[in-house]
Amino acid sequence: MYPGATCALHHQNPWELLVATILSAQCTDKRVNEVTPGLFAKYPTPQDFASVRPEVLANDIRSTGFFNNKAKSLVGAARKIISDFGGEVPKTMEEMLSIPGAARKTANVVLGTAYGIASGVVVDTHVQRITLRLDLTRHTDPKKIEQDLMKVIPKDKWILFSHQIILHGRARCVARKPKCAECLISPVCYAADKTI
């Protein structure tokens, strides 16, 4: 259904994707994509983010919600990348997890989308909801969901799978009113609240 699915966050390089992914927590990709052009024009490099005071940056990202914590994470991430990784976003899960604001979801987004490295499966709210509906997991904890998905989805599909499920969650399997009658995977969906 979604063969060309890709990351919805607009970015030009791994650093911009990392920033956008940190901003996307508890925020829509649409909102992040509205904020980042001005943000990257004002702070084009990790060095620019590293030198700004978090309270100043917070005002630039206010509309994404949780702006004080996100600002601290972004400044901390920039400083960590400069001090420990020579200004380049690292390419391993272990290194990514050492960056402020980067948990597994963020690390998987950046590693998969920016570098083509399948280190795991991105589990956002769409993936969490839809994989439960499809009986691919019985867990609600993102780490356990990711472990389940890594067992049943071939590794060469991990990156694309997440993008496809996220698109499906926006287009058909919407949280409040799924469009089951229009869904091509309805025959393999086991959700109790199917709308047919």
pLDDT at 1: 92
- DSSP code of residue 27: S
The single residue of 42, 70, 124, 151 carrying the catalytic annotation is 124
**Is residue 8 one of the residues assigned to a domain?**
no
Please say if 156 is a catalytic residue: no
The single residue of 48, 105, 156, 194 carrying the catalytic annotation is 105
**Domains: count for the chain:** 2
Torsional sign, CA 162, 26, 103, 135: negative
pLDDT at 101: 96
Low-confidence stretches of the chain (pLDDT beneath 50): none
Q: Tell me, yes or no, whether 66 and 101 share the same domain.
A: yes
**Is residue 3 one of the residues assigned to a domain?**
no
Last residue of a domain, one of 81, 96, 115: 115
Please say if 105 is a catalytic residue: yes
Give the whole-angstrom CA distance, residue 179 versus residue 181: 6
Give the whole-angstrom CA distance, residue 158 versus residue 121: 5
Torsional sign, CA 172, 176, 181, 184: positive
Give the whole-angstrom CA distance, residue 71 versus residue 115: 25
pTM over 0.85, yes/no: yes
Give the whole-angstrom CA distance, residue 151 versus residue 53: 43
Instruction: Kindly report, residue by residue over 24-54, the tens digit of the pLDDT.
Output: 999 999 999 999 999 999 999 999 999 999 9
**Is residue 62 one of the residues assigned to a domain?**
yes
